Structures are given as structure tokens and as C-alpha cells.
Amino acid sequence: MESIIIKTRDKDELNFFLELAKRLGVSAKTYGEMQDEQLLKAMEENRKTPKTDKQNVVDTLNDILNEKQDEYGK
């Protein structure tokens, strides 16, 4: 599938192109809608990862800040 990007001058022009795409029967999304979908997808994928303890995160950050970076990489 090929895509095009059209940078409109104003909201009216944007609405014109979205309506045109709809009447032509092609899929059209704004850049903001695409970003929202990608963020949601990333959040849903992250939801499947195991949770970690808050204290573990704080300790790791403290280790990095205290220059124990060699232990961090292990």
C-alpha cells in the first residue's frame, strides 16, 4: 500500500481533502490520528510485559546516578 502526505494550509483545506478521500472510497487519517494509534499500540504491547517493583526502579536509577554504571550493564 502506498501513502501520500498532504500538508494543508488550514483546517478548511484539511477537511476538504478528508471529505474528498471519503467520497473516493479511500482510507484517510490525519497525522495526529496515526500517532495516537501508534501510541495505543505501543501501550497495549507494553501492558503484556511483566511489572517491576517501584523500589527496584528507584535503586537502579540511584545506581546509575552514583556512577555504578558497570553494575547496571550486567
**DSSP characters for 16-60?**
HHHHHHHHHT-----HHHHHHHHHHHHHHHHHTSPP--HHHHHHH
- Per the structure, the complete domain to which residue 33 belongs is given by 11-72
Structure confidence at residue 66 (pLDDT): 86
pTM comes to 0.54
Asked if residue 54 belongs to a domain, the reply is: yes
Asked if residue 4 belongs to a domain, the reply is: no
Domain count, the chain: 1
Structure confidence at residue 51 (pLDDT): 84
Structure confidence at residue 68 (pLDDT): 57
Long-range contacts of 18-24 (CB under 8 A, 24+ apart): none
Asked if residue 2 belongs to a domain, the reply is: no
Asked if residue 1 belongs to a domain, the reply is: no
Asked if residue 60 belongs to a domain, the reply is: yes
pLDDT truncated to tens, each residue of the chain (74 aa)? 788 999 999 999 999 999 999 999 999 999 999 999 999 999 999 888 888 889 998 998 888 888 755 655 55
**In this structure, are residues 41 and 47 in contact, taking their beta carbons and an 8 Å threshold?**
no
